[in-house]
């Protein structure tokens, strides 16, 4: 069995990330961008399994990421005990949506969370108990978590259904933006300087990467440049919204660990970038 250069390149990237994780485990030292690399490893694991084994298996690795994200989110909000039925419904929404990605049913994928899950959660909250105080908060919080950490992240799965390298390009470009934002925030203190530098610093690298990979992603050069100019802005928007969400949940930047905000922190960069890039490609190229 022979593999294309594109597939071999995916394997090489995954191998490099895997070596980084092994070195980190052996040395027990925390790298500067350690957690970002860890979740990038998970995304590439999903892509590698999809390419080499089966998309039907690879997509469920991404479903696990959504499960871990919403579980962390729900553990951080002040949810009522009587809402456990709605929480179960939220978890059940994950295989509900990812199954539609697996069978390539776009129509049901796009309405699975924003229509059916959003309608089911209020009913499950109402059926969960007699106490009415806090009902609106519970419904809004659970639906909000489903939208961000299941529906938005699910767009990466559907993007990988179009092309593994389209999804890989998104993940790599977002990682470049995350690294740039971390560097900028360490160097500058003024907000407006941070925003400008966070946008313009990664743009040349993202444009170069997108153009270099356009043959594998099958995204024309013009659209590659447009997406390269959009992604840094979308990542900044994700960071801005995510910082307010984390602050409200009591997540501290210096105490990020899995289960206490690290997953939400690492996924915030994709919350805007993933759905916008997917719908851009679907509208203009598919």
User: What pTM was computed for the model?
Assistant: 0.90
Q: CA–CA distance from 262 to each of 186, 242, 244 (Å)?
A: 19, 12, 15
Distance, CA of 18 to CA of 15 (rounded, Å): 5
Q: Is the pLDDT of residue 111 over 60?
A: yes
Asked which of 36-50, 87-101, 239-253 is least confident by mean pLDDT, the reply is 239-253
Q: What is the mean pLDDT of residues 115-143?
A: 90
What are the structural domain ranges in the chain? Answer: 5-284
Residue 261, C-beta contacts closer than 8 angstroms, at least 6 positions apart: 72, 76, 246, 249, 251, 252, 255
Q: Which pLDDT does position 123 carry in this prediction?
A: 94
Q: CA–CA distance from 279 to each of 159, 210, 214, 251 (Å)?
A: 9, 17, 18, 31
Asked which of 1-15, 166-180, 271-285 is least confident by mean pLDDT, the reply is 1-15
Query: Side-chain half-sphere of 107: how many Cα atoms within 13 Å?
Result: 0
Distance, CA of 104 to CA of 106 (rounded, Å): 6
Percent of the chain with pLDDT over 70: 92
Q: What is the mean pLDDT of residues 159-174?
A: 93
Q: Which two tokens stand for residue 26?
A: 């052996």
Q: Which pLDDT does position 30 carry in this prediction?
A: 62
Query: Distance between the two ends of the chain, CA-based, in angstroms?
Result: 30
Residue 279, C-beta contacts closer than 8 angstroms, at least 6 positions apart: 155
Distance, CA of 184 to CA of 198 (rounded, Å): 6
Q: Is the pLDDT of residue 119 over 60?
A: yes
Distance, CA of 171 to CA of 139 (rounded, Å): 31
Write the pLDDT tens digit of every residue in 43-86: 999 999 998 889 999 999 999 999 999 999 998 888 888 889 99
237: three-class secondary structure by DSSP: helix
Nearest to 150 by CA among 175, 124, 123, 113: 113
Specify the residue for token string 């907000």.
191
Distance, CA of 56 to CA of 37 (rounded, Å): 24
Phi, psi of 261, rounded to the nearest 5 degrees: 115, -10
Higher pLDDT, 257 or 236: 236
8 Å CB contact between 238 and 272:
yes
Quickly count: other Cβ atoms within 10 Å of residue 132's Cβ.
Answer: 9
Q: What is the mean pLDDT of residues 95-115?
A: 95
Q: Is the pLDDT of residue 266 over 90?
A: no
């Amino acid at each position: 069995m022979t593999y294309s250069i594109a597939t071999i390149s995916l394997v090489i990237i995954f191998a490099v990330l895997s070596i980084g994780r092994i070195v980190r485990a052996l040395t027990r030292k925390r790298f500067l961008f350690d957690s970002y690399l860890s979740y990038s490893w998970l995304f590439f694991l999903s892509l590698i399994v999809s390419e080499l084994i089966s998309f039907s298996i690879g997509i469920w690795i991404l479903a696990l990421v959504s499960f871990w994200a919403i579980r962390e989110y729900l553990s951080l909000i002040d949810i009522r005990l009587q809402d456990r039925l709605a929480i179960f419904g939220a978890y059940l929404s994950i295989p509900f949506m990812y199954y539609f990605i697996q069978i390539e049913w776009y129509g049901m994928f796009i309405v699975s969370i924003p229509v059916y899950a959003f309608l089911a959660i209020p009913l499950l909250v109402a059926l969960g108990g007699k106490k009415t105080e806090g009902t609106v908060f519970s419904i809004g919080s659970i639906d909000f978590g489903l939208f961000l950490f299941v529906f938005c992240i699910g767009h990466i799965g559907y993007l990988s259904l179009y092309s593994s390298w389209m999804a890989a390009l998104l993940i790599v470009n977002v990682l470049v933006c995350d690294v740039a934002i971390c560097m900028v925030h360490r160097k500058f203190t003024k907000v407006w300087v941070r925003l400008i530098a966070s946008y313009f610093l990664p743009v040349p690298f993202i444009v170069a990467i997108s153009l270099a990979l356009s043959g594998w992603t099958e995204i024309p050069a013009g659209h590659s440049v447009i997406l390269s100019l959009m992604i840094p802005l979308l990542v900044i928007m994700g960071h801005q919204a995510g910082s307010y969400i984390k602050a409200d949940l009591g997540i501290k930047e210096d105490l990020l660990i899995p289960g206490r905000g690290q997953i939400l922190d690492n996924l915030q960069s994709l919350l805007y970038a993933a759905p916008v890039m997917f719908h851009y490609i679907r509208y203009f190229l598919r």
